[in-house]
Homo-oligomer: A and B are copies of this chain.
Amino acid sequence: ELAALCADQFESRQLTGRHVIITAGPTREALDPVRYLSNHSSGKMGFALAEACAEAGARVTLIAGPVHLATPPRVQRVDVVSACDMLGASETAVNDAVASLGAARVVFIATAAVADYRPAQVAGQKIKKGLKDDTLDITLIKNPDIVATIAARADKPFVMGFAAETQQVEGYACDKLSRKRLDLIACNDVSRGDIGFQSDDNAMVVFWPDAGQGSSAAAPGLGRAELAKAPKTQIARALVG
C-alpha cells in the first residue's frame, strides 16, 4: 500500500544514486509569431515533485514548459515551449541518464500537460483578421506522445504518467496505463474546482499493473491506491522510492 509506504519513507537521501527526469507545465503550439494553442497547466505538481525528489537525494532534471514558477534548489531545469521541443529534451535527458546510471536507476515522470495537437502550418507572419472573414478554419495535427515514446524504449526507465480528465477519470487512466506501457499512473478530476489545474492540492488515485489480486484493485490485474490530499512530498517519496 502506497499510503503505508509514505509513512516509512521520510528518511532523506533515499533517492541517492537515482536520476529523476520530470516534465512539467503546459506546452505552447504556435499558430503564428503571436498566437498559440495551450492549456491550463500551472506546472505546480511537477515542480513540487522535482523539489521533493531533490530533497530525497536524487539527481533531478526538470523539463518545463512556459510556467511562472521558481526552479527548486539543486534541480537542473530545461525550459521548452512546444511538445516537439519537450520530446527532444526528454530523450536527451533519458539518453544521458541511462548511459550514466543504467535504466534501472532512472525514473521518468510525465506531469506536463502536453498539447495533443499543434497547428499543421505555422505562419511566418501574424495572420491578419480579414475584414470580411467571419470564420477561420485551422487544421491541427497530432503531436508526438512523449511518455509513450519514453516507455517504448528498449532501455526503458521507470515511467510514471498523469491523467487529467473531466469525465470517466478512472477508465481513461487505466486505458492510458496499459496502452502506453506505463509503470504507474496518477489521475485526478480537473473538473473539480478544489483540486487539479492551478490548485495547490491534488486529490489523486494511482494505478499500476499488478500481477497479484489486490483487494483494492479497480480492475483485474491493476493496483490502486487513493492519495486524498496527500502532501506532494509524501507522494514523491512513495512513488519513486
Contacts of A172 in B (CB 8 A): 128
Which residue in chain B gives the minimum CB-CB distance to A124?
B166
Give which listed residue, B34, B37, B68, B115, contacts A166 with CB less than 8 A.
Answer: B34
A117: B residues at CB distance < 8 A: 129, 135-136
How far, in whole Å, are A36 and B31 apart by their CA atoms in the complex?
12
23 A-B contact pairs sorted by A residue (CB < 8 Å): A31-B37, A33-B190, A34-B40, A34-B164, A34-B190, A34-B197, A35-B37, A35-B39, A35-B115, A36-B39, A36-B40, A37-B37, A38-B38, A120-B135, A126-B164, A126-B165, A126-B190, A129-B142, A135-B140, A135-B142, A136-B139, A136-B140, A136-B141
Q: Enumerate A58-112 residues with CB–CB distance to B below 8 Å.
A: 68
A37 contacts which chain B residues (CB < 8 A)? 31, 35-37
Q: In the complex, what's the smallest C-beta–C-beta distance from A16 to chain B, in angstroms?
A: 35
The answer, among B40, B125, B134, B164, for a CB contact under 8 Å with A142, is: B134
Q: What residue in chain B is nearest A40 (Cβ atoms)?
A: B34
Give, as a whole number of angstroms, the nearest-CB distance from A110 to chain B: 15
Inter-chain CA distance A17–B39, complex, in Å, is 42
Copies in the complex: 2
* CB–CB A129/B116 < 8 A: yes
Contact A140 B137 (CB under 8 A): yes
Which residue of B34, B38, B133, B167 is within 8 Å of A35 (Cβ)? B38
Contact status A33-B137, CB under 8 Å: no
- Determine whether A191 belongs to the interface, using a CB cutoff of 8 Å to chain B: yes
Q: Are A138 and B140 in contact (CB under 8 A)?
A: yes
Q: Are B135 and A137 in contact (CB under 8 A)?
A: no
